[in-house]
Amino acid sequence: MSPVDDVVLNFSPGSLNLLNAILAVVMFSIAIDLKPEDFSRLARAPKALVTGLVSQFVLLPVLTFGLVLLVQPQASIALGLILVAACPGGNISNFITHRAGGNAALSVSLTAFSTVGAIFLTPINIAFWGSMYAPTREILKATSVDPVAVAITVGIMLVLPLVLGITLNVKRPDITAKLRGPLQWVSMGIFVAFVLLAIAANWTYFLAYAGMVAGLVLIHNAVALAGGFGFATLMGLSQFDRRAITIETGIQNSGLGLVLIFAFFHGLGGMAVVAAFWGIWHILSGIVLASLMNRTEATR
């Protein structure tokens, strides 16, 4: 069996374009829930929003780097964990927050703001934390990731659909009202199916290396959820807001992670297996957590 750092997964340019399109549709399905006043409302009471963004883009990368130093996994696995932590919140977090009885409006706004912020913060976090760990530093040197190219990829794939979705919701709310429910379910179903098909196409590799990363991904996800909850509690937020920030920190946009891995890291095995396993596991852990949280009503 080849070392995971030497494995490159099978993923055609056409598949990458399809994944880009799927993520754009998923982002659009979230954006049609938003209006400009949602942002202005949060601007008047920004504490929860700022707490959530700091939890995602500062706390989670720090905790991830601490985990990497503690466990010292192989280079491509470590960089996969760092890259996932650098991504914005995943779109399914909004659905899970609603199921958990948390602040769904805060969750949607955090997804939107973190998506915009990801244009700058995702490449910065990948470059900074990746360069702090010697084995991943070598991968970054070998791949010469251009932060501007990453920013453009994130902008086109996530921010453009966000702007279009909000615009449509303002101009034609009658259309978005009909699209909202079906589009969210269909887009998420297509995304999950795509991840499963990508795993199936690389089943031999996934079977060989999933065991190597499964435990790390479970620990990483638990650290993310606990970190989000702990930080929101430390900031004195209500239980209603804490649930949203906990889930938003623990549900990462692993689909974006896969796009970046195949676009800039040539489908490096350890990174791709980490992102793919995250894409499956965070949905399961999020739904279980939401079911536990929903047993009691959140205080506001």
Q: What is the pLDDT of residues 237-290, one digit of tens each?
A: 999 899 999 999 999 887 788 878 877 787 777 788 888 888 778 888 988 998
User: Contact 12/198 with Cβ under 8 angstroms?
Assistant: no
Task: Give a yes or no: residue 299 inside a domain.
Answer: no
Domains: count for the chain = 1
- Closest to 284 in 3D by CA, of 89, 106, 81, 96: 96
Which residue type, as a one-letter code, is found at position 197? Answer: L
Task: Give a yes or no: residue 237 inside a domain.
Answer: yes
Task: Give a yes or no: residue 300 inside a domain.
Answer: no
| The pLDDT of residue 294 | 84
Task: Give a yes or no: residue 130 inside a domain.
Answer: yes
Q: How far apart are CA 232 and CA 53, in angstroms?
A: 11
b/e for 250-261, b at 16 or more Cβ within 10 A? bbbbbbbbbbbb
Task: Give a yes or no: residue 243 inside a domain.
Answer: yes
Residue 137 belongs to a domain with what CATH number? 1.20.1530.20
Task: Give a yes or no: residue 11 inside a domain.
Answer: yes
Task: Give a yes or no: residue 259 inside a domain.
Answer: yes
Domain containing 186: what range?
4-293
- pLDDT under 70 in the chain at which residues? 1-17, 38-39, 41-43, 45, 144-146, 191, 195, 198-199, 201-203, 205, 207-209, 297-298, 300
Q: How far apart are CA 49 and CA 238, in angstroms?
A: 13
Token duo for residue 245: 């920030």
- With H, G, I as helix, E, B as strand and everything else as coil, classify residue 8: strand
Q: How far apart are CA 11 and CA 29, in angstroms?
A: 26
| The pLDDT of residue 1 | 42
The model carries a pTM of 0.83
Task: Give a yes or no: residue 121 inside a domain.
Answer: yes
